[in-house]
Structure 1
Amino acid sequence: MFNEPVSGHTHDHIDWADRLALLRAADALDAPAQAAIAARLAEKLPVNPTVIDLGCGAGGMSTHFAQALAARSGGTIILVDATPELLHEAERAVRAAAQDHRSGGSTLTGNGRAPGPSGGQHAAAEGTTPTVEVRAVVADLADGSLPDLLPTADLVWASRVVHHLPDQQAAIGTLTAIALADGVVALSEGGLSFSCLPWDLGLGRPGLEDRLQAAQAEWFVGMREGIDGAVPMPYGWTVALERAGLADVSSFSALVDHPAPGSDGLTDYVHHHLSRLATHGADHLSDEDRATLAALLDPVSSHYLGKRRDLFLLGARTVHYGRRP
């Protein structure tokens, strides 16, 4: 560990440790999109950079950062999360990526520091092996003193975590304070909601997924309202980055596309995904829609989703980024 655990508190009152299986499944299905995002952001970085992954969750994105850095000049990845169980899994995942990458001639290390290469931006110097050092910190992104706990970084990354914090604009200011001059701050927020079900399921009223997404939106409003000290942010993410003082602000998206019939992993993910929507949207759904969901999620039901061959996953992850002047 980079430092000692300080807290497992979360401002949104969500038990994120209990969602570990869902986060792992999402990382597996997001892998192609995450790899594309990591490669695109890595192109903006100097030799032997430091990358900080704030709210790293189960660590899926940082496995791709590690691979992108190892394919270039090496560097350092610092994992940060407020939930120790997730941080432990993130370390495990990145270490596993380290083992996988060794066969390709690159080496990622754990806590042991290794000298960085001195080659060009996209490759190590001749005769050296790119090394990626991995560290971990238990910390709260809403803590204004976070810049004092972490080194400055060439890339500060936060994926779908800022919207769970009381003051989103202040949190982006904290991210910006951690970035080096000319460093990049990048947020994965928004995008296109995932779709996974056909419009007519053969039970219940057609269009269930549209109503589930509407119910999820109502739950999200309530979640934000339930955060102690929540501050509205009535503008988009690019405006928020500009207000934090970042320059060259822009966005790009990566498609997540798993056509039917998909794999066993897709079925498991859809089950977790719909279970979460059923919990979040229960108060915003009709009795008929709740009954339809219950049938889809019941392994002994004739309508159990695990028996279907028309499940799919389609959506997009959007990244908003800017450079600290």
Structure 2
Amino acid sequence: MTSSASPTHHHGPGHHHEHGHGQADTGQDDALAAVLDLDAEIFAPYLDAVTRRVAELAGGGVTHVVDLGSGTGAGTFALLERFPRARATAVDSSPAMLARLAESARAKGLDDRVSTLETDAGTGLGGITDADLVWASASLHHLDDPAAALSGIRAALRPGGLLAVAELDGMPHFLPDDAVAGRPGLEDRCREALAGLHAGQVPHLGADWGALLAAAGFTVEQERTERLELRAPLPDAVGRYAHLVLGRVRGALDGRADPADLAALGTLLDGGPGDVRHREDLVVRSTRQLWLARRS
């Protein structure tokens, strides 16, 4: 489980990785890390606004933050900046992602404030019982049993502690409807095909987390849905982000989508004039949700 989103297998940018450690997996980790880092860069104003909202509700007494599904650490480091007296435990099931995060912490001079925990959050949080804040960004929908996982998160929080659940609605939108001649609606069809794939692989994507949190004994204090849209002039990072995300989409849909649509996706990725890294008509749209809930 890694935080921040996947177009192919969960959250927006893309990243579930319960796997071994061969060369191919290293390449997958590299690609996923790049997606997560680009997502954090492109949507930095949103992350800043969300962590500010979390800090306002959590108050000034936060000394232990848990980042659940930490990925490359965008949430970890944003929260450490918000809470200068806090230490953070970064939790992920991928040792490669945790190693990257630990190296980033050293580079930022934060290694004395960051520890890592390699575990599947569905099996508990390693005896943590003193967390003031648990941050779960694009990670909870990966869990097989949300009720059991939320029970474990509740046990990790001190009484009165805060849980922030951030989710998104799948892959971002990038393309105009006529992005590929002769294939109108290409991106919408890809999203529909991914939704069918996700229904079996990540059935809790799009769940009503407000109801699940209440059933687990949390008091939901805030719930927000924001529709983000970024238009030209866009930073160069957007083209690279779209290329990585759509590449993951194409891989996920190989053999599961219309071959003509897969070929059309190929023209957006092949380095030619229609490649998303060269286009000036991209618009990034993403719907993101936030629940802030307190352990009673």
Q: TM-score, length-normalised on structure 1?
A: 0.76
SS of equivalent residue, structure 2 residue 149: helix
Task: Determine whether 1:267 maps to 2:225.
Answer: no
Distance 2:207 2:73 in 1: 29
Task: Determine whether 1:10 maps to 2:18.
Answer: yes
Q: 1:59 to 1:261 in 2, by over 3 A?
A: same
SS of equivalent residue, structure 1 residue 27: helix
Between Structure 1 and Structure 2, whose CA radius of gyration is higher?
1
Residue number in structure 2 paired with 1:182: 160
Q: 1:204 to 1:63 in 2, by over 3 A?
A: farther
Distance 1:233 1:61 in 2: 20
Aligned partner of 2:89 among 78, 91, 95: 78
Distance 1:79 1:272 in 2: 25
Task: Determine whether 1:91 maps to 2:79.
Answer: no
Task: Determine whether 1:258 maps to 2:230.
Answer: yes
Q: How does 1:153-302 map to 2 (within 5 A)?
A: 153-191=131-169, 194-224=172-202, 236-299=208-271, 301-302=272-273
Shift of 1:261: 4.2
Q: How does 1:27-106 map to 2 (within 5 A)?
A: 27-45=40-58, 46-70=60-84, 74-96=85-107, 98=108
Q: How does 1:129-140 map to 2 (within 5 A)?
A: 133-140=113-120
Identical pairs, percent: 30
Question: RMSD over aligned Cα, in angstroms?
Answer: 2.5
Distance 2:247 2:269 in 1: 7
Distance 1:234 1:159 in 2: 13
Distance 1:247 1:93 in 2: 34
SS of equivalent residue, structure 1 residue 194: coil
Aligned partner of 1:308 among 262, 279, 288: 279
SS of equivalent residue, structure 1 residue 44: helix
Shift of 1:9: 7.3
Q: 1:171 to 1:49 in 2, by over 3 A?
A: same
Unaligned 5+ runs, structure 2: 1-15
Distance 1:31 1:247 in 2: 28
Conserved 8 A contact 1:261-1:310: no
Task: Determine whether 1:142 maps to 2:154.
Answer: no
Of 265-274 and 194-203, deviating more is 194-203
Distance 1:202 1:154 in 2: 49
Residues 16-38 of structure 1 show CA distances to partners (whole Å, capped at 9, x for unaligned) of 62422211211211211111111
Q: 1:273 to 1:250 in 2, by over 3 A?
A: same
Conserved 8 A contact 2:269-2:276: yes
Q: 1:204 to 1:89 in 2, by over 3 A?
A: farther
Q: TM-score, length-normalised on structure 2?
A: 0.83
Unaligned 5+ runs, structure 1: 1-7, 100-108, 112-132, 226-231
**Deviation beyond 4 Å, 4+ runs, structure 1:** 232-235
Aligned length: 273
Conserved 8 A contact 2:164-2:293: yes
Distance 1:278 1:243 in 2: 37
Residue number in structure 2 paired with 1:320: 291
Conserved 8 A contact 1:37-1:254: no
Shift of 1:192: 7.0
Conserved 8 A contact 1:9-1:83: yes
Distance 2:289 2:137 in 1: 10
Conserved 8 A contact 1:159-1:188: yes
Q: 1:25 to 1:162 in 2, by over 3 A?
A: same
SS of equivalent residue, structure 1 residue 321: strand
Greater relative contact order (CA < 8 Å, ≥ 6 in sequence): 2
